[in-house]
Chains A and B, each alone.
Chain A
C-alpha cells in the first residue's frame, strides 16, 4: 500500500489483507480484522447457500411460462447465430416461414460450402479444439495454448487495447481475463466462445490437449 493515503487507512487496509503492521493502532487493527472475519464468513456462507439452493428449475419453469425465457429444448439447440443460420437455410427447429423451403436451404448450403472450400485457406485438420462453457469460465482445450491465447489476445486488442490480462498457469495452461463489453462479446461469439461475464470480466482458460 502506497504513501498517498493516510497511515490509518493504509494500516487498516493492510490489516484487512491479514497483514497488520506492528506499529498500527490496536483499535484500527482490531476493527479491520473483525471486518476481515465478517466479510470472509459472509462470503463462505453465501457460497455454501448458493451450492445448496435448489430453486433454479422452478424458476426456469416460471420464466418459460411467462415467456421470458426460451424452452430448454430451444436453448439446447441454440437460438443464437447458429440457429439463425440454420433457420436461414431452412434447417432450423422453429416454425419460421423459411423452414417451409428446406430444399432451397440445402442448395444454398451446398453452394456456400463449395465457395468456402475454394476460397478459405487450409485449416490444420488435426487440432482438437473443445469448447466448454460454464457460468464462470470458458475452457478451450487446444494443441498449442500459447498460439491460441495469443490469437485471442490479438483479436481483443484490436477492439479494446488493455482489455485483456494474460496469466500463465501451471501445466502450460493460460488464463485470459477480459474486461467485458458488447464488442468483446461479439468478438468472442464470432470465435464460437459463449462467455458470461462475472463482475465485469470474462474468463477464458486455454489448456493443452492431453495426448
Chain B
C-alpha cells in the first residue's frame, strides 16, 4: 500500500481507497478515546495526508513486526491524535488536571462517555474484554490481526505464510500474542468468573 502511494497514477488511486478503508480502524480508535465522530473523521484525513507526505521515507516491510506498514500507519494515526489532544489541552480541562474538582471530573467523564460509543463505562465482562481488545489492537495491530486469523480457524501454516514465519515460529508468535494481550484484559477475569 505504501509502495503504491509512491508509484503514483492508478496505483496511488487504489492505495488511497485501500488506506481510507483501513482508516476505519483509526476512526474507531479515536472515538474510543472519547473524540466526536467529526473530530475522528478530521483526524483520519490528517493521518492519511501525513502518510502520503512521508510515504517515500517509509523503510519498513510489508510483513508483520515492529517495522511493518501496519505498525507504521498506527504510529502516525496515534501521533496525529496526540498532537490534536495536546493542542486542545491549553483550551480545555483535563482529567489529569490535579486542580480539577470531583464534580468537574465527573462531568468531564460523563461528557467523554457520551462521545464514546465503545466505553469507558463497563457494564459486563464482555464490555471489559472489548475495551481491552480496543487498546490491544491499537498498541499491537499486527498481533491483533494474527489473533483474527486464528479466530477465523485458519491453520497454522496459512497464518505462518501470511506473517512470514515458520510453523513453529507461528505457534510461538500466537502464544506470545496471548501473553501480550493478558495485561489488557486481566482485570476482566473476575467479571468472567462471576
Contacts and interface: CB of A to CB of B under 8 A. Distances in A.
Interface residues on A, range: 35 or more
Interface string A51-91: 00101101110110010111010110011100100000000
Nearest to B133: A38
Interface residues of B, number: 70
Contact of B151 (A39, A46, A182, A201): A39
Chain B binding site: helix, strand, loop or mixed by DSSP?
helix
Nearest to B144: A39
A18 B12 CA distance: 39
A8 to B, nearest CB: 9
Interface in B137-194: 137, 144-145, 147-148, 150-153, 156, 161-162, 164, 167-168, 171-172, 174-175, 178, 181, 185, 188-189, 192-193
B74 interface: no
Interface stretch (A9-17, A99-107, A114-122, A168-176): A9-17
A36 B3 CA distance: 33
B153 A80 contact: no
A40 interface: yes
Contact of B9 (A1, A50, A83, A199): A83
Nearest to B137: A42
Interface of B: 1, 3-4, 7-18, 20-25, 27-28, 41, 44-45, 48-49, 52-53, 61-64, 68-70, 125-126, 129-130, 132-134, 137, 144-145, 147-148, 150-153, 156, 161-162, 164, 167-168, 171-172, 174-175, 178, 181, 185, 188-189, 192-193
